[in-house]
Amino acid sequence: MNTNNTKNVVAIVLVAILSSVITLFGYHMISEKGGKAVSDNADNPVTKEMGMLANSFGQDKDNVVLTSLTTDEGYPDFTEAAARSVDGVVHVKTKTIRQQQYINPFDFFFGFGDRLPAQPREQIGFGSGVIISKDGYIITNNHVVEDATEVSVTLNDNREFTAKVVGTDRMSDIALLKIDGDEFPYLTFGNSDALKVGEWVLAVGNPFNLTSTVTAGIVSAKNRGNVMGGSLGIQSFIQIDAAVNPGNSGGALVNTRGELVGINTAIYSQTGNFTGYAFAVPISIAGKVAADLKEYGVVQRAVLGIQVPNIENIRREDPERARELSQIKGVLVEDFTDRSAAKAAGIQKGDVLTAINNVPIRNFAELQSQLNRYRPGDKISVTVDRNGEKRSFNVVLKNDEGSTEITPRTDAATLLGATFKPLSDQQKRALGISSGVEVVSVDSKGLFRKEGINKGFIIMRMNNLPVNSQEDVDNIVAATRTREDKVVLIAGFYPNGRTQYIAIDLSEK
C-alpha cells in the first residue's frame, strides 16, 4: 500500500470517529433538552401549583411514564398513553328519582285539565369519571351525578363499587366521588397550561355506554369562552377535535404522556352527538375544585373585585367602542365591587390588567382561568398597564363577601335551623313510607320555623330526592346552594296529617 492510500484510509477513519463523537454529543444534548421540555421547571409557579394539587390527593409523580410519541415509521403513536389511561377511567352509573305529573285525559277532554298526583319514576344515567388517587377519589362532571340517589362506578377490570358523592360544584360542572379501597390505578395531573394549540390529545371515556373508548385529536383552541351559552360559571375551556359523545362526560383528556390535562364536559353539536368540537375543563381548574371539595366541602373562590366592560352589550349600542375594547391586550378595569381587593391594593379605574404572577393575561377568559386556581387570602402579583406605564401590585384576594376567610361548608342543621333523626324500618312501615327523617328540634329564628315546619314533621323527600339520614339532608342542601334558584322543595307531613309541599329559599340565610 503506497503512502497516499494510507493517508486516505487514516483520513476516512478519523472522519468516521469524529462523526460518531458529534452524533453522540448531539444526541446527549437533545436528550437533555428533551428531558427539560418534558419535566417543568421546579421554580415555575404553575409547576408548584400542580405539585400542590397532586400532593393533596397523594399522587406519586413517579407514576408518570414517558412514552414514545412516534412509531418506527414516523406516525404518531398513542398506544402507551392509551394503555395507561384506560385503567384510570371508570364508567359511572346513576339512579335518579323524578316526579312526573300526569294529566287526567278524561278531565282534559272536558276542559278541566286536572293533574293526577305526581308519580316517582326512576331514571338511569351513564357517564365517565377519572380516578385521581390510589385510595379512590374520582373526578367527574356535576351534571353526571346531579340529583342522583345512587351512584356506582365500574373499573376497567369490571370491578363495581358504590360511590359516595363527596361534593359537587355546578359553576365548574365538577363533582368529586369516593370509592372504598386502596391501590386503585389512577391518572397523574399534567400541566394543562403547557398544552399548545395543535398538540395531540386523547379523550378516554364511555360514549354511548361503550366502555374504555379512546379517541384522538388535537387541541383546537385554549381559554375558549361562551361555551354552552355562557351558562357555566367558568369560561376557560380546552377545545379539542377528538370525538366526544354522550357518555364521555366526566372522562379524561390526556396528553401523549398519559397525564390528565382536562375533564371532558361538553360538545358543540346541533344533533346531540359529536360533529366536530368538544370542550374540556382544564385540570388546573378541575383539580383545584376537587381539592376544595375534598378539604372544605365547598369550592373556595377568590375574586379581585373588579368590573369589566361587557363587549357584547356595548357592541349593540356603540360598535366602534366595542371594536376598540376588543383590541385591548388585557382586561380593562371599568369599576370596582364593594370591598374590592384590587382597589385596596392600589389598582385604579382605566388600568389594563396584563399579567398575574407573571402569567400573561390577554382577555377575560385568561384572567378567570388564573383566578380560578386561587383561594381567598392568597397573595398574587398583578401587573397593569396604566397610561402606557407598567406597574405591579400585590393583591390579597377575597371571597364574594369581601373577606379573606375560607368559607366553611354550612351544615343543614345550622342553615335550616333544625335537627333530624332517621326513622327505623318499623316506623316507615307504620307510616306507609319508603323514606323519611323526623324533625326533632327547630330553632325559633331558623328557616324551618319561618315556613311553619315544627318538631315532629316527617320529611320524605327534598327536591324530589328521598332522605333517610342527616347526611342525605346535608348533601341535598349543599347541592341546592350551588344552584341559581337556591330553593329546596320539601315533601312531608305530620303524623295523621296531609302531605305538604313547602319551598324554602336558602338565599335568605
CA distances in angstroms from 321 to 324, 325, 366, 424, listed in the order given: 5, 6, 22, 66
Marked catalytic residue, from 91, 143, 169, 435: 143
The confidence band for 417, taking pLDDT boundaries of 50, 70 and 90, is very high
Per CATH, domain 46-299 is 2.102.10.10? no
The confidence band for 99, taking pLDDT boundaries of 50, 70 and 90, is low
Residues of the chain with CATH 2.30.42.10: 306-396, 412-508
Residues of the chain with CATH 2.40.10.120: 46-299
pLDDT of residue 111: 47
Marked catalytic residue, from 249, 284, 369, 435: 249
Residue 338 is a catalytic residue? no
Residue 172 is a catalytic residue? no
pLDDT of residue 216: 95
pLDDT of 167-220, one tens digit each? 999 889 999 999 999 999 999 999 999 999 999 999 999 999 898 899 999 999
Edge-to-edge strand list for the sheet holding 150-154:
160-162, 150-154, 89-103, 115-131, 137-141, 174-178, 164-169
Q: Lowest-confidence range among 124-138, 349-363, 436-450, 464-478?
A: 464-478
The residue type found at 369 is S
Query: What is the rounded average pLDDT of the residues 367-390?
Result: 94
pLDDT of residue 292: 95
Q: What is the mean pLDDT of the chain?
A: 84
Q: Is the pLDDT of residue 63 over 90?
A: no
Q: Lowest-confidence range among 8-17, 149-158, 323-332?
A: 8-17
Cell numbers at 80, concatenated:
402507551
Please identify, in words, the CATH class of the domain defined by 306-396: mainly beta
Q: How far apart are CA 259 and CA 244, in angstroms?
A: 18
Q: Is the pLDDT of residue 37 over 80?
A: no
Cell numbers at 281, concatenated:
375543563
Residue 119 or residue 95, greater confidence = 95
Q: Where are the alpha helices (DSSP H) in 357-489?
A: 364-371, 412-416, 425-431, 447-450, 470-481
The confidence band for 14, taking pLDDT boundaries of 50, 70 and 90, is low
Q: Is the pLDDT of residue 10 over 80?
A: no
Residue 143 is a catalytic residue? yes
pLDDT over 90 percentage in the chain: 58
The residue type found at 365 is A
Marked catalytic residue, from 56, 172, 173, 241: 173
Please identify, in words, the CATH class of the domain defined by 412-508: mainly beta
Q: What is the DSSP string of 381-399?
A: EEEEEETTEEEEEEEE-B-
Q: Could you give the 3-state DSSP secondary structure of residue 282?
A: strand
Q: Are 360 and 336 in contact (CB under 8 A)?
A: no
pLDDT of 211-247, one tens digit each? 889 999 999 999 888 776 655 666 789 999 999 999 9
Indicate if the alpha-carbon torsion angle 362, 366, 367, 371 is positive or negative: negative
pLDDT of residue 33: 41
pLDDT of residue 464: 87
Q: Is the pLDDT of residue 274 over 80?
A: no
Residue 54 or residue 255, greater confidence = 255
Q: Where are the alpha helices (DSSP H) in 158-304?
A: 283-295
Q: Is the pLDDT of residue 158 over 80?
A: yes
Q: How far apart are CA 352 and CA 354, in angstroms?
A: 6
CA distances in angstroms from 403 to 252, 337, 373, listed in the order given: 35, 13, 17
Query: What is the rounded average pLDDT of the residues 249-272?
Result: 91
What's the half-sphere exposure (Cβ side, CA atoms, 13 Å) at 102? Answer: 9
Q: Which helix (H) or strand (E) holds 79?
A: helix 79-86
The confidence band for 276, taking pLDDT boundaries of 50, 70 and 90, is confident
